[in-house]
Structure 1
Amino acid sequence: MSSEPPGFELPLRLLLGFRVLIDDLHAELARQGHAGLRPMHGFVLQAIGPHGTTAAELGRRLGISKQAAGKTVDALERLGYLARGSDPRDARRKVVRLTPRGADCLERSARIFDDLRGRWADALGAERLTALEEDLRRMTPSNLFQLDVPGWFGGG
């Protein structure tokens, strides 16, 4: 009998690690005034970026339909994180942009992730965490912000 864990455990443990970090992030964001956000919202805010984008382009970036992207934009607009406006270069195009509240959420998220990484370093040891990160970099694509995860999971 092998003492090694079964192969299916690795992706589940990686997913659980992701889930722990995202749940901790959202709990802290809620404490800091950003309650009501879901994990998908973070992908959307990142995909929109500092210059804004159209709903169609947002859907492509996330790997979801334009309609699914539009529904999520509607929800984030109601929550005050996004605003729609005309493209100054083409008045027929509607561009979605982060509001100051959306930008604040992304800035806070970055600081919270740094704090969470610090907690993991305290629990695992800084050297072990750094080695884990290096190993994951070696085993994963270099495109750090591959944002089509929602679509890949079947969310669109």
Structure 2
Amino acid sequence: MTNPSGDEPGFALPLLLFAGFRTLIDRLHAELAAQGHPDLRPAHGFALQAIGRAGTTASELGRRLGVSKQAAGKTADRLEALGYVERVDDTHDARRKLVRLTPHGVDALVRSAQIFDELRAEWAQTLGPQRLRDMEAGLRTMTPGNFFRLDAPGWFTS
């Protein structure tokens, strides 16, 4: 259904944006599974990004993901069981434990970056490089400066 002006209805925009996001994420995870990471789920990707190379505490992980410390702890437990993270003593505060990426976790992030580059190249081939750059520029214009937020898991469930 289009408006009399020929434009899509307003509700179609977020659905199309989400469909594009979902298409990219589903393709990413299919390729990650083929490359040795079959147990990773989209929420795990947000968590691995939030943990980062320096590691973090469960409390900070929860803040970054927009979930409770307990929910972040459960996510860290699952990632630890899968071999993507480990818990280590914080050298700055003996009372704290850090959640830190293992080499397997780093490998997943490195492969994800490579796969996203390949997927972007496919989009550029299909849409045309300039059209894709224009779409990205338009999205940057319309999104806040901190658009790389990792709190989508908490946002979807709150």
- Out of 97, 108, 126, the residue aligned to residue 129 of structure 2 is 126
Q: Which stretches in structure 1 are left out of the alignment for 5+ residues?
A: none
Q: Distance in 1 between matches of 2:89 and 2:101?
A: 14
In structure 2, the partner of 1:68 is 71
The runs of 4+ residues in structure 1 deviating greater than 3 Å are none
Identity %: 65
Q: Deviations over 1:17-56 (max 9, x none)?
A: 0000000000000010000111000000000011100000
In structure 2, the partner of 1:148 is 151
Aligned partner letter, 1:127: Q
Q: What's the Cα RMSD here?
A: 1.0
In structure 2, the partner of 1:108 is 111
TM-score normalised by the chain length of structure 1: 0.97
Q: Distance in 1 between matches of 2:69 and 2:27?
A: 30
- Out of 52, 57, 64, the residue aligned to residue 55 of structure 2 is 52
Number of equivalent positions: 155
In structure 1, the partner of 2:26 is 23
Q: Distance in 2 between matches of 1:144 and 1:10?
A: 17
